[in-house]
Amino acid sequence: MRTKTTTSTPVDVEDLGESNVSREAAGERGIRIKLRPAATTTFHIGGKGFRRYVVRNGLLTVTAKRVLGKSQTKAVVKEKEWGHTSEVTEAIKPFTIGEKIPYRQVIRARLRRLKEHLTATTHAPEVSLGERVAGICAHPGLRFAERLGARLQALLAISDEEQPEQAPPALASVKSLVAFLAAHPELVYPSVVLTQEGNVRVQWGGGPNKHFAVEFLGDGDVRFVIFAPDPRHPYKTIRVSGSATVDSVMRLAEPYDVRSWTDELFVGADAQ
């Protein structure tokens, strides 16, 4: 017997109270855990049934629809980060319909693993900017990997040619951009430039009242500019700018309806 659950508004796992949460409740409410740094990771708990956890930009969300089978005792966890896949098999207590599931324990184990993985990634020998940019062309988590990689390579070439007093492209900024785009596959391809400081700056729109630009500072922060129609007075334009973290900038921008010109859903696959 299988129970179908639906994902609705996610809540922080801390809000769920005790460690044992009923399968139905968790399925209906979903679970979201804040996690830094930004990453896109997909967990698959394999077996007869499955659950799927997606970490996007620091948020871990349960998006699964099915419960594990009665005889399930192992979970296969696949983690993908920067094209690297690791697989871990872990014992999970078997349970039956109606039984309480230790969601918090399960997720904590996943988080621990993810954190270890991210730490290991951080401490891995640093690759050069050229290698990193070349690698972007084959990045499995980016929808526009080839186009973005080619564009960054072109910018690198321009940077080499132009004034030597200007900063070279910042590797940390490039990494931040890639993590951001991987976490937001719904975004259409933006225009990409380099600032005089060597940071990557992307922009969607281009009209006088549809403009969303984000500069990746490389330390997990961004600077953004938004020009958008005032929802109550569409003939007027709202203009805001500021600083935010990579994983919060889209949420900050949403009230200005930037999705209407940044999301493929609204813009169309072939736009830009």
Question: Could you tell me the two tokens for 22?
Answer: 């009923």
The three-class DSSP label of residue 8 is coil
Of the pair 120, 240, the CB lying nearest another protein is at 240
Q: Is 142 in the site for another protein (CB under 8 A)?
A: no
**Among positions 182, 194, 249, 250, the unique one binding another protein when judged by CB under 8 A:** 194
| Residue 73 is a binding residue for another protein (CB under 8 A) | no
Binding test (CB under 8 A) with another protein, winner from 162, 219, 230, 254: 162
Q: Which is nearer to another protein, 38 or 202 (CB)?
A: 202
**C-beta of 21 vs 174, nearer to another protein:** 174
- Beta carbons of 148 and 184 less than 8 angstroms apart: no
Cα separation, 260 vs 231, whole angstroms:
12
> Does the footprint of another protein cover residue 163 (CB under 8 A)?
yes
Place of tokens 């549809």: 210
CA nearest 31: which of 17, 45, 49? 17
Which of 124/158 has CB closer to another protein? Answer: 158
Of the candidates 124, 138, 158, 271, which one interacts with another protein according to CB under 8 A? 158
User: Counting contacts by CB under 8 A, is residue 225 touching another protein?
Assistant: yes
* Closest distance of CB 179 from another protein, Å: 21
Task: Please select the residue that binds another protein; options are 180, 204, 216, 227, rule is CB under 8 A.
Answer: 227
Q: Could you say whether residue 248 binds another protein (CB under 8 A)?
A: no
Beta strands in the chain (DSSP E): 21-22, 32-34, 40-45, 51-56, 59-62, 74-81, 84-91, 100-101, 191-194, 200-207, 210-216, 221-229, 237-245
Is residue 164 close enough to count as binding another protein by CB under 8 A? yes
The answer to whether 186 and 264 are in contact (CB under 8 A) is: yes
Q: Which residues, in sequence order, are CB contacts of 112 under 8 Å at separation 6+?
A: none
Please choose, out of 32-40, 50-58, 150-158, 250-258, the segment that lies near another protein by the rule CB under 8 A: 150-158
Q: What angle do CA 49, 52, 56 make, to 5 degrees?
A: 180
Residue 254 buriedness (CB in 10 A; 0-12 / 13-18 / 19+):
exposed
When binding is defined by CB under 8 A, the residue of 223, 244, 248, 260 that contacts another protein is: 223
Are 78 and 117 in contact by the 8 Å Cβ rule? The answer is no
Which window, 17-25, 63-71, 115-123, 195-203, contacts another protein (CB under 8 A)? 195-203
How many CA atoms within 13 Å lie on the side-chain side of 212? 23
Taking contact as CB under 8 A, which single stretch among the options 25-33, 88-96, 203-211, 254-262 is the one that binds another protein?
203-211
For another protein, the binding residues in 16-45 under the rule CB under 8 A are: none
Chain positions contacting another protein, by CB under 8 A: 151, 155, 158-159, 161-164, 166, 191-196, 201, 203, 206, 208, 211, 213, 215, 223-225, 227, 237, 239-241
